[in-house]
């Protein structure tokens, strides 16, 4: 399986569910499930937690580096960079730079991020 849509389709078929049933579980319209499964579009980050619950596992790599761990934790919680920035009291470009490895968080922010990872 290469895409999130592939994971969703495989799980839906394993459970013998209709797209409309999966859509109801995740909180989207059935056409959205069709588009995700057909890889015509990707799910917005706010739906990732519901998708993970539906799948029963997280299909995204956890990330080994600190920047990758930030991105994975943010995505798994369904937060945009802007939302995470608000949560940590920083500018959204700071989150982007942390995730790209272009900027290191201060020790205090890193401790908060470590808590966020748990």
For 2-45, write each residue's pLDDT tens digit: 899 999 999 999 999 999 999 999 999 999 999 999 999 999 99
Q: Decide: 55 and 4 in contact? Cβ < 8 Å.
A: no
Please report the domains of the chain, with CATH numbers, ordered by start residue: 4-55 (1.10.260.40), 66-117 (1.10.260.40)
Give the global pTM: 0.82
Rounded Cα–Cα distance for residues 23 and 109 (Å): 37
- Give the pLDDT score at 37: 97
Encode pLDDT of 64-90 as tens digits.
898 999 999 999 999 999 999 999 899
- Give the pLDDT score at 63: 81
pLDDT at residue 118 tops 80: no
Q: Which residue did the predictor score with more confidence, 118 or 35? A: 35
- Give the pLDDT score at 112: 87
Burial of 9 (0-12, 13-18, 19+ CB in 10 A): buried
Angle (CA) 74 80 105, round 5°:
55
- Give the pLDDT score at 101: 94
Per the listing, tokens 């596992």 go with 57
Rounded Cα–Cα distance for residues 59 and 43 (Å): 13
pLDDT at residue 52 tops 90: yes
Here the contacts of 95-103 (C-beta below 8 Å, separation 24 or greater) are 95/70, 98/67, 98/70, 99/67, 99/68, 99/70, 99/71, 99/74, 100/67, 101/65, 101/66, 101/67
């Amino acid at each position: 399986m290469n895409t999130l849509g592939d994971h969703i389709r495989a799980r839906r078929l394993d459970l013998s569910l209709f797209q409309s049933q999966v859509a109801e579980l995740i909180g989207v319209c059935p056409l959205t499930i069709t588009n995700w499964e057909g890889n015509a579009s990707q799910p917005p980050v706010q739906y990732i937690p519901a998708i993970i619950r539906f799948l029963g596992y997280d299909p995204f790599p956890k990330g080994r580096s600190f920047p990758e761990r930030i991105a994975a934790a943010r995505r798994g919680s369904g937060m945009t960079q802007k939302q995470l920035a608000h949560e940590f009291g920083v500018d959204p470009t700071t989150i982007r730079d942390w995730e790209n490895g272009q900027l290191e968080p201060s020790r205090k922010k890193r401790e908060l991020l470590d808590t966020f990872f748990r």
